[in-house]
Amino acid sequence: MKRACWAGAAVALALASTGCSSLLAEGGAAGAGIVGGALASAVTDNAGVAAGIGIGVQAATRAGIQYGQRKIHGEAQQQIARVAGPLKVGQVQPWQTVHALPLEPEEAGRVAVSRVISTGELDCKEIVFSVDRSAGEKLPSSAFYIASICRSSGRWDWASAEPATARWGALQ
């Protein structure tokens, strides 16, 4: 059983270092299934209980990966908001992310303020940001998104949910 646990941990570490979130999610779930199966066989001979243990380990692994992705997406959103906050309408600045854990690739792009929504007590702006893809096998390209940011306690925070769902999916 110790070998199976170490093998599962090695698979998870290898997947985390690839920086590919879909591979990590699916591979992590598969690795969890292997570890869960090894754990279940060591604990019981009952197939129903073993299946329950395997499904539980797999669900916990998937939830952990999704939590990590939400944290990374939130950090990216906050980085974009920090860069965009001080900008005036029409100004453009570059932004980039640097991840402590390589669950997803680092990204960069540009952000501009398209309009001021309100000022005073409720200080908010609409922003347009790009995610620039470098030239690999394909031509360089950019994807563009619209979001809102608002100032709260002296700092600019991400304030929108729906405009970014195409980018970050349901894991905002």
**159 shares a domain with 79:** yes
- Domain that residue 116 falls in: 73-171
User: Is the whole model's pTM more than 0.75, yes or no?
Assistant: no
**82 shares a domain with 6:** no
Give the domain-ending residue among 69, 87, 116: 69
| CB atoms closer than 10 angstroms to residue 9 | 12
If 0-12 CB within 10 Å is exposed, 13-18 middle and 19+ buried, where does residue 161 land?
Answer: exposed
Helical axes 47-84 vs 21-43, angle rounded to 10°: 150
pLDDT computed for residue 2 by the predictor: 45
**38 shares a domain with 90:** no
Residues 125-142 have pLDDT tens digits of: 999 999 988 766 677 788
